[in-house]
A and B are shown apart, each in its own frame.
Chain A
Amino acid sequence: MASILLKHIYKEYTHSKKEAKKINEGDLSPFAVRDFNLEIKDGEFVVLVGPSGCGKSTTLRMIAGLEDITGGELYIGDVYSNNVDASKRNIAMVFQNYALYPHMNSYQNMSYGLKLRKIPKVALDKEHHVIYTVDKDRIKLLKKQIKEAKTPEEVEPLVKELEKVENDKCVPKMKMVHYSKEEIDERVQKAAEILDIKHLLDRKPSDMSGGQRQRVALGRALVRDPKVFLLDEPLSNLDAKLRASMRSEIVKLHKRVKTTFVYVTHDQVEAMTMGDRIVVMKDGIIQQVGSPSEIYDNPMNTFVAGFIGTPQMNFFDVKLIAKAKEVVITLPNNKEVSISLKDLRDIQDEYISGEEKELTLGVRGEHLILGDKGIDATVSFVEILGNTTNILCKLDGSDVEFNITVQERSELVSGDKVKVSFLGKNVHLFDKETGKTIYKYGLEEAKDEK
């Protein structure tokens, strides 16, 4: 088990001529990952989430040692690992396409990493007695102290001790050995039992389904007892039902092995349900780091607010004027809504100075209330999902469409007139220009990052 520390990590790939031109013109960033700072605690389950090309897989591959790090520092445990080869990092990785060796059966696939690895063991002589040797670390330390000593008085006792240590075989001699066949078998069988794949051990990848291959790939990672588990979109090739069951299997596995997990996905449902913490990324930059509920409830910007949550958060371009005890929000259809400042979350001072501000108002579908009072809208489309119903509405007097999620079956049909209201505490307000939240928690997060 180990923590991971990523400090100011940058990744730059070789650019094609076309890309280089765009970079020179300032239309494209030269970096696939920019100034990535994150500390992953020992045993934590962190999910990197973001759209395609946001740099999440690149970041994971840099942790794995499969990509060079252009700039910054990577620590696995306390070890500076920028230049440590992937084969020596003692990490395990589960790939999107499983990457099982096609000519090996599941048992061989799972045991391959163990066969290669060497572990320190106490050396025994022919009569199975422990072989002792001198304490090399102590000798090294004493020699260093002798070098650094300034006076002969300091040197003399050290030299005496050195002589004594050099002749004293008191430390068991260690030698690097491969795992024995019995040890390998024990580990593979144990992992196979955990993942319920004992019956698949003699099957080759071509004879297994996607879900079974995925379990074997997890088993291959599990047997190694690695410091860190890295999972690169491992469920993206599975069907929806299997994905849901594998999701909970992985979470259970994490709880069982209590090792650090870094999980990459573009599926926000996976991110929300699996991670202790979620890292939302876009264009190689971290947008927000937090627990699933923090990210859902307090999105730092419009990207995070829109990316996390299904259906997507509704956004409206609004104008806001703060008055003594309330704010007046002008909706796109020029209708005004007053909300008491008490009901809203703490807004940054500059936005309640009395000046009119152009903002983006975000509100999730499940926080919109259908009733007798509120904003007038017309139903465009009704989606019945079984347990919930999504109602797509159009704001009267404008072209803006938004989504309402209700828990019960709705009798509404396309063309029906409705009135929609929302509670102030459920409203998200973002600066229209920067996309950042105007609530005070945004300032606190920014301070924490610094």
Chain B
Amino acid sequence: MALIALYVFAAFIVIFLAIFIKDFIKNRKSHYKYHKGEVIMAFILLAPSVVLAFFLVLLPIITSLGFSFTNYTLGDPNNISLAGGDGFGHFRDLVSEFQVKGDFYHAIKNTAIFVVFVVPIQIGLALGLALFVNNKRRGTTIFKVCFFAPVAVSLSVTAFFWREVLANRPDGIMNSILANFGIPNQDFLGTDKILGWMIAISAWQGCGYQMLIFLSALGNIRKDLYEAARVDGANAFHRFKTVTIPGLRPTMLFILITVFIGACRVLIQPMLLDQGVYPGSVTLSLYMYNQGQKYGNVGLSCAVALLMTIVIGSITFLQRQLLKEKKK
């Protein structure tokens, strides 16, 4: 294993040196020349980051990629062989589990539902809040702080908080309030409802951050465009459509991609809210975590991670292609 890592590292360094040499030659040919010492110094300064990036980013990715084709079990590093004989055993297992509607099927279904709902709700909420606080009226700072506050709180803390609020016990906060109105105990975190709460809590907690990004983008839209639109006869809706939305387009794309990726990787909320209400809340990340950490099946976990990366990468690429501004 260490030998493989060493080989990969050597390959990485070779690529780095190749880029350095290419750059060096290009610089000599170009009209404006950097001093030789400047180029060498630039690469020396880059070197620590490159080594760190290799060990902390690239190596884990490559290792995980390699594990996905093996039956590596947690705590047993000496007993590694290709999964299913040809290395594709885990992928076949996942397909068959999907076909029989096992945990993997539920994980995909729940993640898809979560993404489909949380992305528009969170972005819509963030945009709505940004528009609401984007004026110089008195008291808007208080609203900004209130809307941003959940972002500053840890995910696990908010998950615990909501678990207590929604607990299926007579002393659960929500149930005790309902009891005052004579409403019987509700199982808010039941298998059919938990996904809804996950969506709501995630959107609530996440939207504050996106609100800030939208606010900054709104501040960059030129005021004279709104004025020109008013003079052109545009009402508030037309101004929103003609000035605000096009002005937010690049920000919208960035937010869409980051929220989408974040939503695909949702883990903490189902892990802490759920407490075993399976399969109502299992998501791909939780499934991956359980397989790797709980059952020690690292190979399968890595196979899921690889599939997730391919799917998320493809959809993100598609989003970029569809939403990026068309150039003439």
Inter-chain CA distance A220–B242, complex, in Å, is 15
Inter-chain CA distance A117–B229, complex, in Å, is 12
Inter-chain CA distance A86–B228, complex, in Å, is 10
Set of chain B residues within 8 Å of A117, measured between Cβ atoms:
233
Q: Is the interface of A mostly helix, strand, loop or mixed?
A: loop
Q: What does the 1/0 interface line of B202-243 toward A look like (CB < 8 Å)?
A: 000000000000000000001011011111111100100011
A64 is an interface residue with CB less than 8 A from chain B: yes
Is the pair A95, B228 in contact by a Cβ cutoff of 8 Å? yes
B179 to chain A, nearest CB (A): 50
Is the pair A87, B227 in contact by a Cβ cutoff of 8 Å? no
Is the pair B228, A204 in contact by a Cβ cutoff of 8 Å? no
A113 is an interface residue with CB less than 8 A from chain B: yes
Set of chain A residues within 8 Å of B228, measured between Cβ atoms:
93, 95, 99-101
B187 is an interface residue with CB less than 8 A from chain A: no
CB neighbors of B among A88-121 (8 A): 88-89, 91-93, 95-97, 99-103, 112-113, 116-117
Set of chain A residues within 8 Å of B232, measured between Cβ atoms:
87, 112-113, 116, 220, 224
Is the pair A93, B238 in contact by a Cβ cutoff of 8 Å? no
Is the pair A101, B231 in contact by a Cβ cutoff of 8 Å? no
Is the pair A87, B234 in contact by a Cβ cutoff of 8 Å? yes
CB neighbors of B among A199-220 (8 A): 204, 207, 220
CB neighbors of A among B228-269 (8 A): 228-235, 238, 242-243, 246, 249
A418 to chain B, nearest CB (A): 51
Is the pair A87, B231 in contact by a Cβ cutoff of 8 Å? yes
Is the pair A64, B231 in contact by a Cβ cutoff of 8 Å? yes
A365 is an interface residue with CB less than 8 A from chain B: no
Residue of A nearest to B236 (CB): A87
Residue of A nearest to B326 (CB): A103
Known: A102-B246, A116-B233, A207-B328. A66 touches B238 (CB 8 A): no
Selected contact of A99 from candidates B225, B234, B246, B325, CB within 8 Å: B225
Instruction: Report the count of interface residues on B (CB-CB < 8 A).
Output: 19
A120 to chain B, nearest CB (A): 15
Inter-chain CA distance A116–B325, complex, in Å, is 25
Inter-chain CA distance A99–B224, complex, in Å, is 6
Set of chain B residues within 8 Å of A113, measured between Cβ atoms:
231-233
B177 to chain A, nearest CB (A): 43
Set of chain A residues within 8 Å of B234, measured between Cβ atoms:
87, 112, 116
Set of chain A residues within 8 Å of B224, measured between Cβ atoms:
95-97, 99
A15 to chain B, nearest CB (A): 14
A65 is an interface residue with CB less than 8 A from chain B: yes
Is the pair A99, B235 in contact by a Cβ cutoff of 8 Å? no
Is the pair A103, B246 in contact by a Cβ cutoff of 8 Å? yes
Inter-chain CA distance A81–B120, complex, in Å, is 42
Known: A101-B225, A103-B246, A207-B328. A66 touches B230 (CB 8 A): yes
Residue of A nearest to B136 (CB): A14
Is the pair B242, A93 in contact by a Cβ cutoff of 8 Å? no
Set of chain A residues within 8 Å of B235, measured between Cβ atoms:
87
Known: A95-B224, A99-B225, A103-B325. A86 touches B243 (CB 8 A): no
Q: Is the interface of B mostly helix, strand, loop or mixed?
A: helix
Q: What does the 1/0 interface line of A61-89 toward B look like (CB < 8 Å)?
A: 00011100000000000000000011111
Is the pair B227, A95 in contact by a Cβ cutoff of 8 Å? yes
B253 to chain A, nearest CB (A): 14
Set of chain A residues within 8 Å of B238, measured between Cβ atoms:
116
CB neighbors of B among A305-353 (8 A): none
Inter-chain CA distance A224–B222, complex, in Å, is 23
Is the pair B328, A101 in contact by a Cβ cutoff of 8 Å? no
Residue of A nearest to B221 (CB): A102
A199 to chain B, nearest CB (A): 15
Known: A116-B238, A204-B328, A207-B328. A101 touches B243 (CB 8 A): yes
Known: A87-B233, A87-B234, A117-B233. A112 touches B227 (CB 8 A): no
Is the pair A87, B230 in contact by a Cβ cutoff of 8 Å? yes
Inter-chain CA distance A153–B68, complex, in Å, is 103
Set of chain A residues within 8 Å of B233, measured between Cβ atoms:
87-88, 113, 116-117
B224 to chain A, nearest CB (A): 4
Among B231, B234, B328, residue most surrounded by chain A Cβ atoms (within 10 Å): B231
Set of chain B residues within 8 Å of A97, measured between Cβ atoms:
222, 224
Residue of B nearest to A232 (CB): B224
Inter-chain CA distance A95–B226, complex, in Å, is 12
Selected contact of B231 from candidates A92, A96, A100, CB within 8 Å: A92
Known: A101-B242, A103-B246, A204-B328. A93 touches B225 (CB 8 A): no
Set of chain B residues within 8 Å of A116, measured between Cβ atoms:
232-234, 238
A147 to chain B, nearest CB (A): 36
Is the pair A99, B222 in contact by a Cβ cutoff of 8 Å? yes
A383 to chain B, nearest CB (A): 38
Set of chain B residues within 8 Å of A112, measured between Cβ atoms:
229, 232, 234, 242
Set of chain A residues within 8 Å of B222, measured between Cβ atoms:
97, 99
Set of chain B residues within 8 Å of A224, measured between Cβ atoms:
232
Set of chain A residues within 8 Å of B230, measured between Cβ atoms:
65-66, 85-87
Set of chain B residues within 8 Å of A89, measured between Cβ atoms:
231
Set of chain B residues within 8 Å of A91, measured between Cβ atoms:
231
Among A95, A96, A204, residue most surrounded by chain B Cβ atoms (within 10 Å): A95
Residue of A nearest to B235 (CB): A87
Is the pair A86, B246 in contact by a Cβ cutoff of 8 Å? no
B124 to chain A, nearest CB (A): 21
Set of chain B residues within 8 Å of A101, measured between Cβ atoms:
225, 228-229, 242-243, 246
B325 to chain A, nearest CB (A): 7
B229 to chain A, nearest CB (A): 8
Set of chain A residues within 8 Å of B246, measured between Cβ atoms:
101-103
CB neighbors of B among A416-439 (8 A): none
Apart from the given pairs A64-B231, A85-B230, A103-B325, 19 other A-B contacts in the complex at a CB distance below 8 Å: A65-B231, A66-B231, A86-B227, A86-B230, A86-B231, A87-B230, A87-B231, A87-B232, A87-B233, A92-B231, A99-B225, A99-B228, A101-B243, A101-B246, A112-B234, A113-B231, A116-B232, A117-B233, A224-B232
A-B CB contact pairs (8 Å), 7 listed = A87-B230, A88-B233, A97-B222, A97-B224, A99-B228, A101-B225, A207-B328
Q: Closest 6 A-B residue pairs measured CB to CB?
A: A113-B232, A99-B228, A99-B224, A103-B246, A86-B230, A116-B233
